Amino acid sequence: MSTVKTMLDGTTVIPVLAFTEVAPTLRMIERMLGAGLKVIELTRRSDVARETLREAKKAFGAEAIVGMGTILNPTQLQESIDDGADFGVSPGLTPDLLGAIKASGLPFLPGTSTVSEAMTASAAGFDVLKFFPAGQSGGPGYLKAMGAVLPDVMICPTGGVSETNAKDYLALPNVICVGASALSAPASADTFDADGFATLLKAFARPA
């Protein structure tokens, strides 16, 4: 679990991809790799999620760090490991899932939304926590207050993070990066606007 912080070194945004078809997802991953992004999160929100993960690892190998999100239980965790996930992500954390994560050794980003949950996850050995749903759980103001009492707990806010507020999160010292589905929007078009994507990506850079 301690490798998550190292894995995210230099990363300011994890694109969260929730497509319902394999091919568009692979095209989007290729575009993101070309733009300099390396850490990608898929989600288990569609029937093709597992196939997409397998195909992504087959196509891009070590070039991309591809994780599986929306993992809810030990069975889904094991399936993600079997499919080649480089890391896992959950919206929350249960005792059963925690035990399975520890036994597996898979780098993992557990979901939390309160100070108590953050304290529990940090005490369990996680060095980076997902803050979800970020927008509905208090946003940058909440994380700023959390940082005052838990300065060593690093956070990846996800949920409601967009080009309009990403820098508000990234300006906080306890935010290591953000997770956002907004970066996948160009994939819905028939043609990919590379310049538009590059402009969008700048909104997810850490403020100087």
pLDDT at position 186 is 59
In which residue are the tokens 């589905």 written? 181
Among 21, 57, 130, 163, the active-site one is 130
Instruction: Tell me whether residue 58 is one of the annotated catalytic residues.
Output: no
State pLDDT tens for residues 38-76: 999 999 998 999 999 999 999 998 899 999 999 999 999
| pTM confidence score | 0.95
| Mean pLDDT score across all residues of the chain | 94
pLDDT at position 184 is 84
pLDDT at position 192 is 80
State pLDDT tens for residues 100-133: 999 999 999 999 999 999 999 999 999 999 999 9
Q: Order of strands, edge to edge, in the sheet holding 111-112?
A: 111-112, 128-131, 154-157
pLDDT at position 2 is 55
Q: Give the 3-state secondary structure of residue 103.
A: helix
Among 5, 21, 30, 41, the active-site one is 41
Specify the CATH number for 3-202; select among 3.40.50.880, 3.40.50.1820, 3.20.20.70, 3.40.50.11740.
3.20.20.70
CA distance 203 to 156: 16
**Residues in the chain, how many?**
208
Instruction: Tell me whether residue 55 is one of the annotated catalytic residues.
Output: no
Q: Give the 3-state secondary structure of residue 177.
A: coil
pLDDT at position 196 is 87
